[in-house]
Amino acid sequence: MARTTIHDIAKELNTTAATVSRALNDHPSISTATKEAVRQAALRLNYQQNRTASSLRLGRTFVLGVIIPSAEISFFGSAVHGIEMVAKTQGYTVLLFQSNETQEDEARGVQTLLQSNVDGIIASIAKETTSLDHFLEIKRRNVPLILFDRATDELGVPTVVIDDYKGAYMATEHLIQQGYRRIAHISGPQHIKIFHERLRGYVDALKAYNFKIDGDLIIYGKVSIVTGRACAQQLLAMPNRPDAIFAVEDFTALGALQAIKESPWNKPGQIGVVGFANEAFSAYITPSLTTIDQQTALMGQEAANLFMDMKQEEHDPALPPRKIVLDPVLVIRQSSIRRATRGKLTKEENHLAPDHASHLP
């Protein structure tokens, strides 16, 4: 009934627990004969190591704590998948926590993970989090902390993010090259860095192609289907309506697409839309959504790798923490394809564009 321990094996072989332990851990100073005998007995008695006991003794658990806002966002699902892939190869287990986008749950998650003696924590910050105290506690306890995607430099910990600026630039440039001339942007709260960066990318892409920046074409939503739809409706009601929308992320883009479909300008290729995130649904909707892929699984892998590195080298605390920036990938689908394309446009050719833009259909 009771689970077999190394003592049971020792008794079986007329030896001691110490020898059994060493044998199982492949200690060099144990004869191959005994090692084999121990392994046999372990198998026969169906021995399974008690990790709790081992952890207590070793002071490490081989558990990696992960805190994500929500497992229902496929983005985080695949990031976790990436983390697990790396963790597995190094003998680590992943303990998952969902913050439900609240600071309260996030702080509780940190506490539980610390109590569980996880060897490290990989986290993506909740939307509603304003204070970073709970994360500081992790640092103070000398537990490795890595942030991914929703990261901040304030904590001075390693991070892995994608280049949001570049992704937004690529998205906007793609719309320009498709021939769209009045490109709007539905952004999100500017205190969240990734949204601010995406706005910058949008602006700079327009500038690079000599478009005038029109403040009316930039509106701020709360990053959801509903606000995406509302913002798009507002844009479409303008006298000088845009002919394309770059949305700050896919759910917002989805709402915008819905608004467009319900509008008079609902013919394919009439109003281009690009999102950001490559959420699972984006390939399935109609029209399928052009978007920026964030390399989520890779992001998870890199985060896990950063952790493994931290375990290795005692990183000099004076040095700045490592920061991995992944390249975004433009995924072109139907929503941004212009039917009658004007041909590719180079930056130099577009001196006239801003003027034309105002009397588009």
Partner DNA sequence: ATGAAAGCGCTAACAG
Partner DNA sequence: CTGTTAGCGCTTTCAT
Q: Which residues bind DNA (CB under 7 A)?
A: 2-3, 5-7, 14-19, 21-22, 24-25, 27-34, 49-50, 53-54, 56-59
CA distance 241 to 154: 40
Tell me the closest approach of the beta carbon of residue 319 to a copy of itself, in angstroms.
20
Q: Which does 17 bind (CB under 5 to 8 A by kind): a copy of itself, DNA, none?
A: DNA
Partner from DNA, a copy of itself, none binding residue 239, C-beta < 5-8 Å depending on class: none
Q: Taking CB within 5 to 8 Å according to partner kind, which of a copy of itself, DNA, none is near residue 81?
A: a copy of itself
- Minimum CB–partner distance for residue 27 and DNA (Å): 7
What is the distance between the alpha carbons of residues 306 and 324, in angstroms, rounded to a whole number? 9
Interacting residue ranges for a copy of itself, rule: CB under 8 A: 1, 3, 48-53, 55-56, 61, 63, 70-72, 74, 77-78, 80-81, 84, 93-96, 98, 111-112, 114-117, 141-142, 254, 261, 280-281, 284-286
Contact of residue 15 among a copy of itself, DNA, none (CB under 5-8 Å per partner type): DNA
User: 80 touches which of DNA, a copy of itself, none (CB within 5 to 8 A by kind)?
Assistant: a copy of itself
The distance from CA 241 to its chain's CA centroid, rounded to whole angstroms, is 33
Residue 281: contacted member of DNA, a copy of itself, none (CB under 5 to 8 Å, by partner type): a copy of itself
Q: How many other β-carbons are positioned within 10 Å of the β-carbon of residue 69?
A: 24
Q: Are the C-beta atoms of 262 and 237 separated by less than 8 Å?
A: no
Residue 91 beta carbon to a copy of itself: minimum distance, rounded to whole angstroms:
10
* Residues 333, 141 contacting (CB under 8 angstroms): no
- Residue 310's nearest CA partner among 153, 147, 133 is 147
Q: Using CA atoms, how far apart are residues 1 and 135, in angstroms rounded to an integer?
A: 43
Answer for the pair 290, 336: CB distance below 8 angstroms, yes or no: yes
Q: Select the binding partner of residue 31 from a copy of itself, DNA, none (C-beta < 5 to 8 A, by kind).
A: DNA
Smallest distance, Å, CB 15 to DNA? 4
Cβ-based nearer residue to a copy of itself, 31 or 266: 266
Considering CB distances under 5 to 8 angstroms, the limit depending on partner class, which of a copy of itself, DNA, none binds residue 30? Answer: DNA
Torsion of CA 97, 100, 106, 110, to 10 degrees: -10
In the list DNA, a copy of itself, none, the entry touching 22 (Cβ below 5 to 8 angstroms by class) is: DNA
Provide the minimum distance between the beta carbon of 21 and DNA in the complex, in angstroms, as a whole number. 4
User: DSSP for 122-172?
Assistant: EE---TT----HHHHHHHHTT--EEEESS--STT---EEEE-HHHHHHHHH
Q: How far is the CB of 302 from a copy of itself (least distance, A)?
A: 18
Amino acid 45 reads L
- Taking the complex as a whole, the smallest distance from the CB of residue 4 to DNA amounts, in Å, to 8
Nearest CB to DNA, comparing residues 110 and 184? 110
CA neighbours closer than 13 Å in the CB half-sphere of residue 39: 11
Query: How many Cα neighbours within 13 Å face the side chain of 309?
Result: 17
For DNA, which is the closer residue by CB, 56 or 352? 56
Write down the least CB distance from residue 24 to DNA, Å: 6
Own/partner pairs, 204-208, CB within 8 angstroms, 24+ separation: 204/165, 204/169, 205/168, 205/169, 205/170, 205/171, 205/172, 205/173, 205/176, 206/172, 206/176, 208/173, 208/347
Q: Considering just the CA atoms, what is the radius of gyration of the chain in Å? A: 27
Length of the chain in residues, anyone? 361
Smallest gap, in angstroms, from Cβ of residue 43 to DNA? 14
Closest CB to DNA among 50 and 240?
A: 50
